[in-house]
């Protein structure tokens, strides 16, 4: 099946194992209840699990270490930092600064 028939198959429904929000008060991520099973985890462990499905505090610490020593040089002359600094200069929102600093 392809073309319009394939599109029609998915036009108004979404089949996914990644996660969902339920109006009655549940949130599921990769088969786990976010509010009861995942809420106690550090943010990076949660992120690693969301992206890879792996439950690994070691991997989370490794990524945090890489991030700390290689991705957060604060010099405003460096081009990506300069963009975030310019957002500050032009009095844009903190939401914009955070996106740009990534």
| Residues lying near other proteins in the complex (CB under 8 A) | 3-4, 7-8, 11-12, 75-77, 79-80, 82-83, 86-87, 89-97, 99-100
Nearest CB to other proteins, comparing residues 36 and 92: 92
Distance in Å, CB of 80 to other proteins, minimum = 6
Q: Coil, strand, or helix at residue 74?
A: coil
Please tell me the distance from the alpha carbon of residue 58 to that of residue 21, in angstroms, as a whole number.
29
Question: Which CB sits closer to other proteins, 40 or 77?
Answer: 77
Q: How many other CB atoms are found less than 10 A from the CB of residue 101?
A: 15
In angstroms, the Cα distances linking 49 to 39, 66, 78 are 12, 18, 31
Least distance to other proteins, CB of residue 78, Å: 8
Of 15 and 40, the one with the shorter C-beta distance to other proteins is: 15
23-25-27-32 Cα dihedral, nearest 10 degrees:
-130
Q: Tell me how far apart the alpha carbons of residues 83 and 90 are, in angstroms, rounded to a whole number.
A: 11
In the bound complex, what is the minimum distance in angstroms from residue 10's beta carbon to other proteins? 11
Is the Cβ of residue 13 or residue 16 nearer to other proteins in the bound state?
13
């Amino acid at each position: 099946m392809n073309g319009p028939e394939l599109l029609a198959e998915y036009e108004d429904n979404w089949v996914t194992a990644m996660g969902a929000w339920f109006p009655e008060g549940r949130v599921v991520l990769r088969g786990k209840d976010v509010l009861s099973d995942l809420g106690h985890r550090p943010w990076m462990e949660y992120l690693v699990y969301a992206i890879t499905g792996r439950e690994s505090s070691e991997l989370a610490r490794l990524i945090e270490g890489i991030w700390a020593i290689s991705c957060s040089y604060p010099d405003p002359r460096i081009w990506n930092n300069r963009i975030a600094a310019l957002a500050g200069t032009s009095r844009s929102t903190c939401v914009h600064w955070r996106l740009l600093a990534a």
